[in-house]
Structure 1
Amino acid sequence: METAGSRRPLRTPALLALAAALLAASAGCSSGSSSASSRSSTDAGSGTPAPAPSVSSDLQTQYENTVAGVLPSVVQITAGDSLGSGIVYDSKGDIVTNAHVVGSATSFQVTLADSSSTLAATLVYSYPTNDLAVIKLTSPPSGLKPAVFADSGKVAVGQIVLAMGNPLGLSSSVTQGIVSAVGRTVSEPRGEDSPGATIPNMVQTSAAINPGNSGGALVNLSNQVVGINTLAAGDSNESGGQAPGIGFAIPASTVTDLANQMIKDGKVVDSGRAALGITTRTLLADSSGSGSETGAGVVGVTSGGPAAKAGIQPGDVITKLGGTAITSSSQLSQVLATMQPGQKVPVGYVRGGSTRSTTVTLGTL
């Protein structure tokens, strides 16, 4: 995620019904201080400042150990005039990051956390559909420290996490928070180098994710990466500005699954995500009622794909998928992201003003 000007704009999606107040994480606890009512008159009038609350030495030590253990695996990536972060994936020099960090570039400069010199890297594969990419160091140095990735299924709401990366170009920075939610489906805004990916199962966090943090690590206190920092939520009441305390990370299990495919096959061969086999654009009915239906207008249909086999044609307008009314292309993507390949799903659509329905066996994105 990059700032405007010399860097790409920060990713900020529309909030997806995230009106619930987030839990607040405390970095420590107080001990040894008495209440104001129990202070003696001498203490109250002495002008001597009350002692600072002490921080749990155990928790502080865990923070310090995690930073020391994981930060060497987090790198800075420069792609043209863009700046972002990445995570050392293996000792061979493979580095995982966001697709929007690499953009359209194929060569990069990488700065390790313990060095000020840069290393050359080239693109292995970029997969904008899930906003993930892998790049590889041209001459990997000895002593690279690959990160350890967690089991995403064990990430729990309330878990303390640290976001590591290079926000605003401030290398090797760390912010802290908690896991605020899991299983979020989030749509990114369309950008210069991104079609606006819809990503399922994201980890929501209160740890600050700022421009330049994209592609960095969201880690637990067991020194494991639970996700890749990807975007901050947008506040619709603040003209698209960031919504403080709401950020999202691609879960570790998704990262490792897709990265392994990119490294082995040079591409993603099985995304595990459902698809209709169509391209769409949002259509809005006009106020007179004489215009097209509101929904996802079918622009193209993949020959022999799921939608084609079910009889859907270009010009149709999808208005319902499963039990959900569809009012836009992005909503169609969000609903599909919650489904599985091979699943049979009823699809409602309009053709020439006539409402129709069919059942589609979903394919793979």
Structure 2
Amino acid sequence: MAGAPVLGPVSETAEAPAPSNPTRRKRTAAIGSLVALGLAASAVFGVQTALGGTATAARAIAAPASDPAVVFGGRGGYGWGPGTLPGSGSTGSSTVAAATEATADQLVGVVDVTTVLGYENGEAAGTGMVLTSDGEVLTNNHVVEGATSITVTVLSTGVSYEATVVGTDPTDDVAVLQLSDASGLDTVQADDDAVAVGDAVTAVGNAGGAAGTSAAAGTVTALDQSITATDESGQDAEQLTGLIEIAADVEAGDSGGPLYDAEGEVVGMDTAASSTGGQAYAIPIATALSIAEQITSGVDDETVHQGYPAFLGVSVQSGATGGAAVAGVVAGGPADQAGLTAGDVVTAVGGSTVTAAEDVSAALAGLDPGDEVTVTWTDATGRSQTATVTLATGPAD
């Protein structure tokens, strides 16, 4: 709208220091239960979880009765023990071998991934695999989700690099990172031949983060497994399909790490595990590499997103009359600079009418950092306000 202020992008720097010990990223399984732990009640656009404090978001996984139910650990909310998961149990073996320290050969091409969650005042960590000598890294999307900065450490050398997100596929839980100024790196060796039930495998990753990288030996117990994810409200269902199920002692932090076959070649990417231990899931490496190739080709589609998302910095909730209620704003972000405050009701974004929180997401979905968009809202006095904002660069999605 003419005369509305044009606002510039904001810094991605965290407003408060992150905890010194990063939370280890993992997806945990609560067999036969539907559990949601600490998920923000509001939908958040331009920032990934509820505002303030250390993030503890999670997603519950609702599966058919014959399939396991898996809890997606959210940013800062990984590694819960079985006592925290009501009704949890495991169909996995309770006699799997305990994880041991990974060998030098198993560390080739493997990296630790540590993320700063600047808008959430926290850190998280997981694992990744080097795909190219100049620093292209494969990991799970949930390892980097919400990150405002990423540091990757090559385990075989101990050298650390800053990393950026090349692109993500949140639906299939795959992300590709690029290390800054990297060269001559050793890469993992992938075997895209299909595994079979009964095959011996070893899951390697940054388990727990306290005693180095672990190797969890196990066996393939099932193939082509599907898990459906929902938030605690039962909305935003997501499904991971075609997973390899294994019996192995996979722990928090292993996400994004390699699943090796008996020949030491990568056959999968560690992705989920049971809360009680002994049962885990991996994305077949052929599937993960196919998605990574699409990401690096620069082609967006309904699931693949390039780079970082546009950032409005507002948390909204459905249920308000005539729009989406503002639950909170990020200090210094575009929404804050425009004058939105908690309790306002967003009625339009980019000329599209907003009647629910999902409409805000839809309006921002096709926009990039640096794009200008008009936002219309009703303030606490009932007055309609409109401003044009410049979307900032948001955390990884």
Aligned equivalents of 1:165 and 1:108: distance in 2? 17
Question: What is the SS of the residue equivalent to 1:147?
Answer: coil
Alignment of 1:77 with 2:113, yes or no, is yes
1:6 positional shift: 4.1
- The question of whether the paired residues in 1 share the 8 Å contact of 2:138 and 2:256 is answered with yes
Q: 1:6 to 1:140 in 2, by over 3 A?
A: closer
1:103 equivalent among 118, 139, 145: 145
Alignment of 1:248 with 2:281, yes or no, is yes
Which residue is 1:138 aligned to? Answer: 180
Aligned equivalents of 2:228 and 2:299: distance in 1? 26
Larger relative CO (CA 8 A, sep 6+): 1 or 2?
2
Structure number with bigger Rg: 1
Alignment of 1:221 with 2:262, yes or no, is yes
Q: 1:258 to 1:178 in 2, by over 3 A?
A: same
The 5 A counterparts of 1:44-193 are: 67-80=103-116, 81-142=123-184, 144-152=185-193, 154-169=194-209, 170-188=211-229, 190=231
Aligned equivalents of 1:77 and 1:196: distance in 2? 27
Gaps of 5+ in 1: 28-62, 234-241, 272-365
Aligned equivalents of 1:112 and 1:21: distance in 2? 32
Query: Alignment RMSD, CA only?
Result: 3.3
Q: 1:74 to 1:195 in 2, by over 3 A?
A: farther
Question: What is the SS of the residue equivalent to 1:243?
Answer: coil
1:89 positional shift: 1.1
Alpha-carbon deviations, 1:265-303, whole Å to 9, x = none? 2545788xxxxxxxxxxxxxxxxxxxxxxxxxxxxxxxx
Q: What one-letter code is carried by the residue in structure 2 that aligns with 1:69?
A: D
Q: 1:70 to 1:21 in 2, by over 3 A?
A: closer
- The question of whether the paired residues in 2 share the 8 Å contact of 1:205 and 1:246 is answered with yes
Gaps of 5+ in 2: 1-20, 32-62, 69-89, 117-122, 305-397
Q: 1:106 to 1:124 in 2, by over 3 A?
A: farther
1:189 positional shift: 5.6
- The question of whether the paired residues in 2 share the 8 Å contact of 1:179 and 1:205 is answered with yes
Q: 1:246 to 1:149 in 2, by over 3 A?
A: same
- The question of whether the paired residues in 2 share the 8 Å contact of 1:202 and 1:251 is answered with yes
Q: What one-letter code is carried by the residue in structure 2 that aligns with 1:129?
A: T
| Structure 1 residue ranges (4+ consecutive) displaced by more than 6 angstroms after TM superposition | 23-27
- The question of whether the paired residues in 1 share the 8 Å contact of 2:91 and 2:279 is answered with no
Q: What one-letter code is carried by the residue in structure 1 that aligns with 2:115?
A: A
TM-score by length of 1: 0.54
1:223 positional shift: 1.8
Q: What one-letter code is carried by the residue in structure 1 that aligns with 2:249?
A: A
1:105 positional shift: 1.9
Q: 1:145 to 1:226 in 2, by over 3 A?
A: same
Aligned equivalents of 1:166 and 1:196: distance in 2? 28
- The question of whether the paired residues in 2 share the 8 Å contact of 1:125 and 1:267 is answered with no
Q: 1:225 to 1:196 in 2, by over 3 A?
A: farther
Aligned equivalents of 2:125 and 2:25: distance in 1? 11
- The question of whether the paired residues in 2 share the 8 Å contact of 1:12 and 1:188 is answered with no
Which residue is 1:199 aligned to? Answer: 240
Q: Which one is further off, 10-19 or 207-216?
A: 10-19
- The question of whether the paired residues in 2 share the 8 Å contact of 1:202 and 1:249 is answered with yes
Question: What is the SS of the residue equivalent to 1:186?
Answer: strand
Question: What is the SS of the residue equivalent to 1:129?
Answer: coil
Q: 1:135 to 1:156 in 2, by over 3 A?
A: same
The structure that is helix-richer by fraction is: 1
Aligned length: 221
Aligned equivalents of 1:89 and 1:243: distance in 2? 32
- The question of whether the paired residues in 1 share the 8 Å contact of 2:24 and 2:253 is answered with no
1:7 equivalent among 23, 32, 36: 23
1:175 positional shift: 1.2
Q: 1:197 to 1:210 in 2, by over 3 A?
A: farther
What percent identity do the matched residue pairs reach?
A: 31
Aligned equivalents of 2:264 and 2:230: distance in 1? 31
- The question of whether the paired residues in 2 share the 8 Å contact of 1:228 and 1:250 is answered with yes
Q: 1:270 to 1:167 in 2, by over 3 A?
A: closer
- The question of whether the paired residues in 2 share the 8 Å contact of 1:13 and 1:187 is answered with no
